[in-house]
Amino acid sequence: GYLPEADGGLGLDYLTWAVMMEEAGYCWLSLRILLNGLNIVSGIINAYGTEAQKERFMRPLLRNERKTFVSISEPDVGSNVAEIKTRADKRGDRYVLNGSKLWITNGMFADFGIVVARTFSETCNGELSLFLVERDVTAYSVTPVDTMFTRSTGTAAFTFENAEVPTANLLGQEGQGLRQILIGLNFGRLNVAMGAVGAAQCALDLSVGYAQQRKQFGRQIGSFQLVQKHIVDMTMRTQAARSLGYRAARSMQNGTSRTECSIAKLYATEAAFDVANLALQVHGGMGYATGYPIERIFRDTRGGMIPEGTTEIQTLIIGREILGISALT
């Protein structure tokens, strides 16, 4: 989307991209999540990849000829990326991967992706690096992981046991992986925020329509003051989240986005779940019936507070940027 047209992208500005992510979230949060992974991977390759890597991985990905994943989290490593244990030992013209990865979106379907690993070589002593790992080149096991939200995203766990990756698949330089992946995650936070806004708007629209049509005690339930209060609260939270998301998109365009993306992600995901919760209340029994979209939106919006940095991590990032004091060191 936002990548240059010459590289296969649409050349969009970040605000236009934010609107697209909102629309994707409105229709189906699983779609927004899959698009997020595609754009994080293509963006990192565009920024740090060689011309050969762009031709082999990025351009086919943008043409929808390949499917991708981002593999960061591990069974014992979540919010603190710096504690990753998966290691890559350089041996001749190969890196040998050993370790486990968890919560990999699209991991069941993708044919390649980015793996973050602690690297050991003549020039690198345990710093993180990024590797482009291909399913038909590197042997590793893939296990499905069932989740309560965004069930269509093919979440998986990977296990690497002496899995060989060609040195040509190192992305950028050894030891630069932490900085590279954090840049991708910052963009991901904007995507998560705007997808949450879209889901909230969908829940709101469904609730307005239901409150106008549903009758109890001989009148539309939308005429009851408490239902109107729910609708008003939902509207305010959705509009506020959208404004913060657009502000973050503009800051991405200006290159000053870390705090704004964290604020947008934190507020929008919490707001979306609150809106979905009220939408379920407005719908009553219909709200938690699996044949209706509200229960899916309720589950999916709850999931937004976890990936790309939890609510708690976003709070600490924002606090650090405001105060100049880190709570994590």
Q: Which pair of tokens denotes residue 96?
A: 């040998």
Phi-psi domain of 262 (left: phi exceeds 0; alpha: psi -120 through 50; beta: other): alpha
55 is catalytic: no
Q: Which pair of tokens denotes residue 293?
A: 């979209």
CA geometry: angle at 57 spanning 160 and 69, to 5°? Answer: 45
Burial degree of 146 (CB within 10 A; 0-12, 13-18, 19+): exposed
Please spell the DSSP secondary structure of 103-161, one letter per residue. Answer: EETTTTT-SEEEEEEEEESSS-EEEEEEEEEETTTS--EEEE---SS-GGG--EEEEEE
Q: Which pair of tokens denotes residue 123?
A: 């020039």
Question: How far is 70 from 281, CA to CA, in rounded Å?
Answer: 36
Identified catalytic residue from 83, 308, 312, 321: 308
Rg (CA), the chain: 21
Question: How far is 136 from 131, CA to CA, in rounded Å?
Answer: 15
Q: Positive or negative, the Cα torsion across 242, 279, 196, 36? A: negative
Contact 221, 49 (CB under 8 A): no
Question: How far is 2 from 20, CA to CA, in rounded Å?
Answer: 11
Helix axes 293-303, 258-283, angle to 10 degrees: 150
Helix axes 293-303, 177-213, angle to 10 degrees: 150
Contact 124, 50 (CB under 8 A): no
Active site residues: 308
